[in-house]
Amino acid sequence: MLKETRTFAQTISEAYMYVYYFTTLSLLPSGLTMLRAFSHTNGRCVFHHAKRWRHRKSVLAIRREDVNAWERRAPLAPKHVKELTQMGYKVLVQPSNRRAFREKDYVKAGGIIQEDISEASLIIGVKRPPEDKLIPKKSYAFFSHTIKAQEANMPLLDEILRQEIRLFDYEKMVDQKGMRVVAFGKWAGVAGMINILHGLGLRLLALGHHTPFVHIGMAHNYRNSSQAVQAVRDAGYEIALGLMPQSIGPLTFVFTGTGNVSKGAQEVFSALPCEFVEPHELKEVSESGDLRRVYGTVLSRHHHLVRKRDGLYDPVDYDKHPELYTSRFNTDIAPYTTCLINGIYWEQQTPRLLSRQDVQRLLVPVRSSVGGTEGCPQLPHKLIAICDISADTGGSIEFMKECTTIDSPFYMYDADQHITHDSVEGSGILMCSIDNLPAQLPIEATEYFGDMLFPYIEEMLLSEGSEPLESQRFSPVVRDAVIASNGSLTAKYEYIQKLRESREQDKSLKMGNKKRVLLLGSGYVSGPVLEYLTRDSDIDITVASVMKEQLEQLMKKYSNVTAVHMDVIKQEEKLSSLVKKHNLVISLLPYSAHPLIAKKCIANKVNLVTASYLTPAMKELQESVEAAGITVVSEMGLDPGLDHMLAMECIDKAKEVGATVVSYTSFCGGLPAPEHSDNPLRYKFSWSPQGVLLNTVQSATYLKNGEIVNIPAGGALLDSVTPMDFFPGLNLEGFPNRDSTKYAEPYGIQTAHTLLRGTLRYKGYSKTMGGFVKLGLINPDPYPLLSSATPPLTWKELMCKLVGIKSPAEHHILKEAVFSKLEKDKSQLEAVEWLGLLGAEPVPAADSIVGALAKHMEMKLPFGAGERDMIVMRNEIGLRHPSGHLEDKFIDLVVYGDNKGYSAMAKTVGYPTAIAAKMVLDGEITAKGMVIPLTKNVYGPILERVRAEGIMYTTRSVIKQ
């Protein structure tokens, strides 16, 4: 018995509640017999009191968010976990140092920190889990982003169906009116508004105006929203004092939608000295408003949507037939808008707010009563910024083709050229479209979301994912959020499969009129290739790569690109099937893969373009290529590629005036910019590390003063290094590259007494690489001990084997043995130590020692944020004219990488490759068989077009008597 005094009223009240719940017991989820009574906590309904389960105690797991580095939210806060544990439930929490709420907070609330969550019947998260971490026949709840058959998430949905998982999608937890009851919406609005005020400050500064907005930071720079709002309030104080530049005119902010997203953004905006006006008043205040305040308007459907046939708006009719309506936003609202905050949900049939053509018309100079001067300019146009909080690519803002990220929150959209660039400078509109905004304010967002989710957790938790869905008696809110169960889509979401099939059919129809390109590889060089080819809307591109994360990034960035996750070398049948469906294949894979790819192209009569050398293995396929009637273009990158083209342009011009070539030397190197060459190798990687390493042990042949010079393979190349002083400030060295003599005939320069092609590096590179050769680290032979199937070795253990001492060895003993192997060269030993090759770090799994070293160097010597690379090429061509006098031609190509764009290597390899591919597709290159860029009809257009991409070169002459 309860040892407490009870009033008669309390007893009657409790008895009434028990009777009430016994009569409604049939409404409870299957498998549960319990008594539950309501209590009110913070205005919401939660369950408590005695419970008993027919089978076993249910367990909830909160999974670790591991898809995005910024994802610090959780679906439930510690306070929610505490209520669940007090109700008798067991709550597992996967450990995570990234989560905003600390593990100790969950432990204090009664949660159990545990990696293994297989015991749980319900596993909840915020974002999608990786496919390989799904547990069969469990119930999962998260934002799946599958309800529109989003292509990027279809592999996840397929895996959920295959593993018979029950999927609850928060996005589809809605009330009787269709309004979402579980969402982060408000905090997306709050964070989005803070971000765009920060971005507006940067953009206005780039346009020549210091404003109070420049002191507002990104949302995640504040501990909480209160601090952020205070920064906004401080900026507002300065605005109220009249500190906004006069020449920019009044600022107007338009909020679309009336839901939580819009309300959250408006809360932040209200911290400024603001005045809300009706949409029809926007024109007047945008022209003559008070500069000591900012103006806002909230846009509902009736303000801009009209039926096409009669110009009227009928809300009931619109809900049934949105395709019959159009938006007047572009004419009635946008011309008077400084900043658009878009928070509306968009579906396929609904009208868009803005198209590219709309923005082209909007990017016209502002007419203002306040004149501008050079130092105090007017705004170039009224619409300055768009914050698309909906983050719906290609949706209501048609030209918003890619979401931005918390790391890179802004880009400029140039409607005239239909291009974007990662900057706040230049022409166009500032775009911000981060798709995980609430993650910037994770603690408040988690508590807000958890409050909304908590009332539904119990019935989700008490369902068994392995039991038939029909046996579960869910409330309508939960039932309608089940996307998949027991290996099938639920009836309400069967349309997803139809959408997928329809999309595939549409693709097939479109492909009939489009040119189809298969790009193999998604690494360093793929960016410029895709950027160039996707400018043509009649080209559809499929990218096949083993790099899953890179593919996902490409899918977000390009709408007409399809990603295929595969190992091209190991999945030959799949490769054949892909090749067959395309008009052209571009391979950015290592040259060793090209014979296999070429054979697939021959079998399916598909053209091929590569940036790599035309190797002997490729030349053996010449007859087969010609018999198939296809074009195989090779050596279309930088070196080989642009070096050929620049040489042939000069040689052909010389021959036109009767001159003969007496010497030809060409040196080229991809290097870090001088300020970033601060390591023992004086080198960082912007392309295949293994290719760079293997080049140092290749054989080489060249012609010097009429004599053939042969350098054997195995490292002797590094003893043939020559200082290169044509750019003295760069302190360069060079060494021969492969067989230079073979170009005498293709170049048509058999008269040359010197013919040398070489590689450029900073002084000291070759000596350091020589040390690696001495130690046996540049060894491409198979080395089974480094296989992923064997226990991992440390670098220390591997080095012991290479220098022939027993492992484990004392550090000083190993160091002395290595030093001896390096012939007492201190600088080579320093490089080995700098790279950690004497330490306990695991050696990456690889087929060979050089493969492992390449992976290690890729981790140790990458280009860091803000660092750039550099391409240096020097061609020197000696000519003898009919008059007998001599002329030296010097052709210099120097290209720097962009801090936030493409590397110099990516540009100088990617753009020529893409241009050549486009020429094949467009019929500009028609020759069948093996083609390299040595004829004017090929190199001429490519050199002209690479100049248009900013790849510039200079030519000068020195005449000798």
Q: Which residues are catalytic?
A: 639
H helices within 775-871, ranges in order? Answer: 795-803, 811-821, 826-834, 849-860
Contact call for residues 610 and 626 (beta carbons, < 8 A): no
The identity of residue 254, as a single letter, is: V
Measure Cα distances from 942 to 414, 915, 919 in Å: 25, 6, 9
What is the CA 315 to chain-centroid distance, rounded?
39
CB atoms within 10 A of CB 360: 14
| Rg, Å, the chain Cα set | 33
Burial code of 61-98, b = ≥16 C-beta within 10 A, e = fewer? bbbbbbeeebbbbbbbbbbbbbbbbeeebbbbbbebee
Q: Which two tokens stand for residue 719?
A: 């003893």
Max intra-chain CA distance, the chain = 125
Q: Residues for the chain: how many in total? A: 961
Cα atoms found within 13 Å of the Cα of residue 497, Cβ hemisphere only: 11
Give Cα separations from 833 to 762, 863, 950 (angstroms): 20, 20, 40
DSSP element (H, E) containing 584: strand 584-587
CA distance 709 to 754: 11
- Strands 294-299 and 252-256, bridge-based pairing: parallel
Strands (E), 819-932: 869-880, 886-896, 929-931
- Contacts of 640-643 with C-beta under 8 Å, sequence gap 24+, read 640/611, 640/612, 640/613, 640/932, 641/611, 641/908, 641/909, 641/912, 641/913, 641/933, 642/873, 642/893, 642/908, 642/912, 642/943, 642/946, 642/951, 643/668, 643/757, 643/873, 643/875
**Pairing outcome for strands 51-53 and 32-34:** antiparallel
- DSSP annotation of 171: G
Residues 6+ apart with CB under 8 A from 661: 651, 654, 747, 749, 751, 752, 877, 878, 879
Distance CA 2, CA 266 (A): 52
In the chain, what is the straight-line distance between the N-terminal and C-terminal CA atoms, in Å? 119
CA nearest neighbour of 602 among 931, 938, 933, 929: 929
* Cα 859 to Cα 855: distance, rounded to the nearest angstrom: 7
Please tell me what DSSP assigns to residue 111.
-
Question: SS3 of 347, please?
Answer: coil
What letter represents residue 845's amino acid? A
Q: How many other C-beta atoms are found inside a 10 Å radius of the C-beta of residue 731?
A: 15
Residue type, 7: T
Residue 722, helix vs strand vs coil: strand
